[in-house]
Amino acid sequence: MDPLTLLSYFGTWALIGLLVVVFVESGVLFPVLPGDSLLFVAGMLAAGTAAQGADYANFQLWQLLVFIPIAAVLGGQVGYWIGRSVGTSMFKPNARVLKQRYLDEAHLFFEERGPFAIVIARFVPIVRTLAPITAGAARMGYATFTAFNVLGAVVWGVGITLLGYWLGKFEIVQKLLEPIFILIVLASVAPMLWEWYKRRKAARAAGDLPSGPLPEQNS
C-alpha cells in the first residue's frame, strides 16, 4: 500500500488517519499496513519535502513525535489484552488475514528473544502486530510488557519519523521516493526471512526436510 495514497484517502483528517493506522498495526489484528514507510513519509511531509502541495497532510514534527508513540503504545496494550483474554483461537490455518503461521512465527520470535522481542518486533511487519497478542496469550507480566512496549513504540515511532524528516531534505531522496519505499519494506521483512532460513536450515540438518530432489518412485 502506497503511504502517500493512503494518507490522501483521509484528506484533512490525515493526521488522525495516520494515528489510527499506527494504533491498529501495533496489535489490533490487521497486520498488513504500511507502518514503516508510512512513518518515513510522515516525517518527509513534516519537513515539507514529500508530495509538494499535499495540503491534506500539513503535519508538524512535534505532533508526530508525540502522538505516534502514544498511538503505538495504546495499540500494543490493546493487543496484549486481546491475547490475554481471547487467546489465539481466532487464528486459523486457512484464514485470509489471521493465519496460524503468522502467529507461530511471532511466537517463535518472542520465545527466542524474551521480553526484548517486543522492541525488536516493532521493526518487523506482521510480527509487530502479533507480538503483543502472543505476549498476552503467554501471560507475560503486564508491567514487563508495558515497559518494553513503551520503549519499542518510542524507538520505532520517533526513530523512523525523524529519519524521514532528516533524509527527506535531500533532493536525491525526494527523487527516489518509490525505490526507498521498496527498500524500507525489504529491510523490514529481512529479519523474518532470516528466521525462516535458519529454521529451514536447522530442520534440514535434523533430517526433517529433504536436502535435494525427492527420489523417483517405481511404478
Residue with cell 532470516: 194
Nearest to 8 by CA among 49, 41, 48, 43: 41
Alpha-carbon distance of 204 to 2, in angstroms, equals 38
Domain, as residue range, for 28:
3-196
Structural domains counted in the chain: 1
Q: Is 202 domain-assigned?
A: no
Q: Is 206 domain-assigned?
A: no
Alpha-carbon distance of 2 to 181, in angstroms, equals 8
pLDDT tens per residue across span 23-33: 998 988 765 66
Q: Is 212 domain-assigned?
A: no
53, pLDDT greater than 50: no
- Contact between residue 87 and residue 134 where contact means Cβ atoms under 8 Å apart: no
Query: What is the model's pTM?
Result: 0.74
Q: Is 174 domain-assigned?
A: yes
46, pLDDT greater than 80: yes
Check residue 121 and give its pLDDT.
84
Confidence of residue 219 (pLDDT cuts 50, 70, 90): very low
Q: Is 77 domain-assigned?
A: yes
Alpha-carbon distance of 21 to 31, in angstroms, equals 10
Q: Is 207 domain-assigned?
A: no
Q: Is 205 domain-assigned?
A: no
Q: Is 218 domain-assigned?
A: no
Residue 92 one-letter amino acid: K
Lowest mean pLDDT among 6-20, 57-71, 100-114, 131-145: 100-114
Instruction: Give Cβ neighbours of residue 202 (< 8 Å, ≥ 6 apart).
Output: none
Residue 127 one-letter amino acid: V
Check residue 154 and give its pLDDT.
96
197, pLDDT greater than 80: no
